[in-house]
Each structure stands twice: as structure tokens, then as C-alpha cells.
Amino acid sequence: MDGGGEQLVFAYGTLRLGQHNHSRLHGSRFLGVCLSPHAFTLLRVGNFPAAVEAGTQSITGEVYAVGGHRLSALDELEGYPNFFDRAIIDTRFGPSWMYVYQRATGHEPRISSGDWLYR
């Protein structure tokens, strides 16, 4: 799924509509809102959320179809692969990339709603 064509991305934080990094998705197709599988924990890390691959939480996000060049730009924004890594999750729109946090210390506050917009 990591080729140069269109890819699906599950955006759960500052890339979402109305958030300060949403413009980074310019030219991408919005497919809709959905929940991640119940396999994560959503944390607050300063002024952004960070999903970790541990837990039983479902996270609210938006799925976008992005071009390969746009995915590369998102990777740079997210500090991939050292700060955030990418994982494939199942969504109702198909398999989607989700950025998962690699530097959790265990001291970050949990966002219990699973939704960055309703923290």
C-alpha cells in the first residue's frame, strides 16, 4: 500500500477539518469520519494528540485519499519514522495509514473521549 498512487490516511488530530494542519491535506479527497479499531490509547502531547498502539480505545478520525507526494509531506510533518510511525488500520473506507506515536513516556495525559476535537 506504500506505492506512489493514492493512499488512504486516517487523520485524528491536527490534520482534521478546522485544525491548524488541515491545509496540509489540500487537494486530498475527504471520504468521511469513522472510528479506529479498539486497539489504541489517545494521549495529549503538548498541543497535539498522539495515538499509541496499546489499549482498548477507539479513536475518532477522518479518512482522506491522498497522492503519494502528499503522503511524503505528511511523513515529514509527523516526523516519520522516528517520532511517529505509520500503521495500517481497517476503516469503513478500506485499509488506511494511521500515524502512531513512538516516544510515549507513560506520563502523558490520556484523552478519554478518543476524540481530539472533544477533549
Check 6, 62, 76, 78 and give the catalytic one: 78
Dump pLDDT digits (tens) for 63-106. 999 999 999 999 999 999 999 999 999 999 999 999 999 999 99
Locate all alpha helices (DSSP H) within 16-85, ordered by sequence: 68-78
Nearest alpha carbon to residue 10 among 109, 105, 111, 93? 93
Q: Any catalytic annotation for residue 78?
A: yes
Write out the three cell numbers for 87: 500503521
Count of C-beta atoms within a 10 Å radius of residue 67: 15
pLDDT of 119 reads 86
Report pTM. 0.95
Question: What's the fold here for domain 7-118?
Answer: Hypothetical upf0131 protein ytfp (3.10.490)
CB 64 within 8 A of CB 8: yes
Distances from the Cα of 84 to the Cα of 25, 31, 38, 103, angstroms: 18, 23, 19, 8
